[in-house]
Amino acid sequence: PLDQAPVQRITLIQIADNAHHYVWSHHHILLDGWSGPLLFKELFGFYEAFRRGGDLNLPKPRPFADYIAWLGRQDMEKAEAFWRDCLKGLAAPTPLPEDRSGEPRHLRGDRFEQRHVQLSETVTTALNGLVRRQQITLNTLVQGAWALLLSQYCDLDDVCFGTLVSGRTPELDGIEHMVGLFINTLPVRVRVPQDAALIPWLKGIHAQQSEMRQYEYSPLVQVQGWSDIKRSLPMFESLVVFENYPGGKDPSQAGRGQSGGKFKRTRSPKERTNYPLAILAGPGKELLLRATFDRTRFDPDAIRRVLEHLAVICNAIAADPDRQLGDLGILSPAERQRVLVDWNETRVDFGGPECAHQLVEGQARQRGAAVALTFDTETLSYAELERRANCLAHHLHGLGVRVETPVGLCLERGPQAIIGLLGILKAGGVYLPLDPNYPGERLKYMVEDARPAVILSQESLRARLPEGPVVVSVDGDAAAIAAQPDTPLTSGVAGGNLAYIIYTSGSTGKPKGAMLSYKNIRAEAASVVERLELDTSTTLLYYL
């Protein structure tokens, strides 16, 4: 608690005769990252002066109270108008990539972890040159890269994340030398139109950031109140921080003396925010991208991939900034190979014929007496199933059914439905299932859309069928069908021909017909046999 001492601790630990660890820990409310180098510069300056037996007189910095007074003079009405306009229409926080929130997690040790990637010196040099030429900042570029990544992960063209602003207004003289907590966390809303050119888009983000600086004193809790996001929801869950403190990468060297005394400042890896994912960028010869994340929300491997994807975007910007946003992908060459090539290497040589009905023919030749299907008390062998399907195929052929001729099948469940399906395929036709329980309007639409030449049905269902196609009744025309040859028909159909049209539910509009080829059905049949480990002793329940 802040009302109980201590809010900071200083410990000196001797680790050797001439080596000590100086440990300083403190609550973040005392000072921000900018203040640290200022204090260390003074600390090492006094150390050197005292070690030499002298003294050090430093100018007195402006008191923090002046900043508090400045905050009290700011126009909150103007700030409200700015933020309401900026956040208008934003009603929900942007989802985080690979978030596993809601899953029970039992963790040992610290809840937060860190991962990092470093861009190469070549890429970093190219990015620094780009931002100088375009008169933007490296911070703007990193924010743009994160916006692009969120947009691609979430498939959104409007994203929001948080950023840390220094809060050190140029209106107060000497504020760059003041010590205290000046930082503020504010939302960054970025629209990501895929057809936008990268450089003008980045300049737009930079201009937005410049305008926001006029109102960076706004408390985040009030900013959320001026938005459409409910109080019960976080305004954003990811934070982008660009660390650019005074004094360089190793500010302790500013107080280093001439007598050989050496000091090394080590920042604690236990810095925390209340956000589940924080992306920190640090300038240098090799741009550092570091993620601090909540292990209850993310797997370390997932965060590693997030950082790699962010690096891919930065590398692409460095390689060719004259491109559109939609051309900036997130996959590394290895991932692209895996997704586009390795995972799509699904070719399987199932052997045998390309068409499923030819498999039935093979079973009829090899084991004709074996049971092919059973329904109630009726049982058909493979030989009988093959014979009856052949007769029907010849009958359909006589009615003009050829390769890729749509044939509707509207039958009650039973062996005749299986015979009808095989007969259509053997004739080379395209199987179009017409469920007799469908509403008349739906059956009418499907028939008008697919335009079957023939509908295979039964006498009891004739009244439900739309007008137009020739109707073959499996019971009314049974004698004519039985009079046909019972040998296989040579239809000329091949695996690449259309075999099956199945209509969607139509829940999003009118039903749409999805089309499958003969080899698609053959592959699916072979896949089911392999996946379920079926053999000649297996009985399979089939619901047609």
Q: Across-strand partners of 116?
A: 290
Q: What is the pLDDT along the chain (544 residues), one digit of tens a residue?
A: 677 788 888 899 999 998 888 888 888 788 888 888 888 888 888 888 998 888 888 888 889 999 999 999 999 999 999 999 999 999 999 998 877 765 555 666 678 899 999 999 999 999 999 999 999 999 999 999 999 999 999 999 999 999 988 888 888 898 888 988 888 999 999 999 999 999 999 999 999 999 999 999 999 999 999 999 998 899 999 999 998 766 554 444 444 444 445 656 555 445 566 789 999 998 889 999 999 999 889 999 999 999 999 999 999 999 999 999 999 999 988 888 998 888 888 776 667 788 889 989 999 999 999 999 999 889 999 999 999 999 999 999 999 999 999 999 999 999 999 999 999 999 999 999 999 999 999 999 999 999 999 999 999 999 999 999 999 999 999 999 999 999 999 999 999 999 999 998 877 778 899 999 998 888 888 777 777 888 888 888 866 5
pLDDT score of 261? 54
Helix (H) or strand (E) holding 445: helix 440-450
CB atoms within 10 A of CB 420: 28
* Own/partner pairs, 442-446, CB within 8 angstroms, 24+ separation: 442/506, 442/511, 443/410, 445/510, 445/511, 446/408, 446/503, 446/511, 446/513
Q: Across-strand partners of 22?
A: 12
pLDDT score of 350? 66
CB atoms within 10 A of CB 119: 22
| Residue among 224, 184, 232, 233 at smallest CA distance from 80 | 224
Q: Residue 262 corresponds to which tokens in the numbers above?
A: 């050496």
pLDDT score of 98? 76
Q: Tokens 């500010």 identify what position?
A: 251
In eight-state DSSP terms, residue 341 is I
Q: Tokens 């080899």 identify what position?
A: 519
* Cα four-point dihedral sign 526, 528, 530, 535: negative
pLDDT score of 256? 45
pLDDT score of 283? 85
Residues found in the chain = 544
pLDDT score of 269? 45
Taking the C-alpha atoms of residue 166 and residue 186, their distance in angstroms, rounded to an integer, is 11
pLDDT score of 253? 44
Taking the C-alpha atoms of residue 45 and residue 50, their distance in angstroms, rounded to an integer, is 9
pLDDT score of 57? 87
| Residue among 179, 145, 185, 148 at smallest CA distance from 165 | 185
Per the rule left: phi > 0, alpha: psi between -120 and 50, beta: everything else, 53 is: left
pLDDT score of 159? 96
Taking the C-alpha atoms of residue 421 and residue 408, their distance in angstroms, rounded to an integer, is 10
Q: Are strands 378-381 and 454-457 parallel, antiparallel or unpaired?
A: unpaired
| Residue among 424, 284, 304 at smallest CA distance from 355 | 424
pLDDT score of 354? 83
Q: Across-strand partners of 57?
A: none
Per the rule left: phi > 0, alpha: psi between -120 and 50, beta: everything else, 202 is: alpha
Instruction: For residue 34, report the phi and psi dihedrals to the nearest 5 degrees.
Output: -65, -35
Taking the C-alpha atoms of residue 245 and residue 251, their distance in angstroms, rounded to an integer, is 9
Taking the C-alpha atoms of residue 497 and residue 347, their distance in angstroms, rounded to an integer, is 19
Contact (CB, 8 A) for 191 and 197: no
